[in-house]
Amino acid sequence: MAQQRTAPAAGDALPVVSKRITQEQLNRYADASGDHNPLHIDPEFAAKTQFAGTIAHGMLVLAFVSEMLTAAFGRAWLESGRLKIRFRAPARPGDEVTTAGNVTKVDGSRPDGRPSGRIVCDIECKSGAGEVLVSGEAEVIVE
């Protein structure tokens, strides 16, 4: 949608982003973020928890959501994006995580049809097994 010539409409789908989670990715994310919680990086420790294995950092999964929204809205997402989400279930190494969303509300457009104003989207992130990992709402202001 970032390159669209006409305003998005309610019901328009956002671009889908799919990523496979790996333990190496979790280890690298821990180093980059400084979050070395053993629940994310120590399989032996994590196996003894309620999760029975390591789980992805929530913010790593949200980065996939942000990638989807950047693909849809470009710089406008980076400058004005807002998320209201709920973590529903953990992502695990080996999971194929897929983000998707739909435009639910568009507050305005210019006379030439380009979007202007507030755009609201429902967003969701699911595991390959169809389990909802993250759900919520995104809002972006386009000028």
By residue range, what is the domain housing residue 115?
17-21+56-142
Could you tell me which of 113, 111, 110 has the C-alpha nearest to residue 143? 110
Q: Is residue 106 part of a domain?
A: yes
Per the CB < 8 A criterion, the answer to whether 107 and 119 are in contact is yes
* Per-residue pLDDT in tens (0 to 9) along the chain, 143 residues: 444 445 678 889 999 999 999 999 999 999 999 999 999 999 999 999 999 999 999 999 999 999 999 999 999 999 999 999 999 999 999 999 999 999 999 887 666 666 568 899 999 999 999 999 999 999 999 87
**What's this model's pTM, rounded to 2 decimal places?**
0.86
Beta strands in 30-131 (DSSP E): 82-87, 96-106, 117-126
CA dihedral for 82, 123, 65, 142, sign (positive or negative)? negative
Q: Is residue 118 part of a domain?
A: yes
Per the CB < 8 A criterion, the answer to whether 93 and 22 are in contact is yes
Q: Is residue 29 part of a domain?
A: no
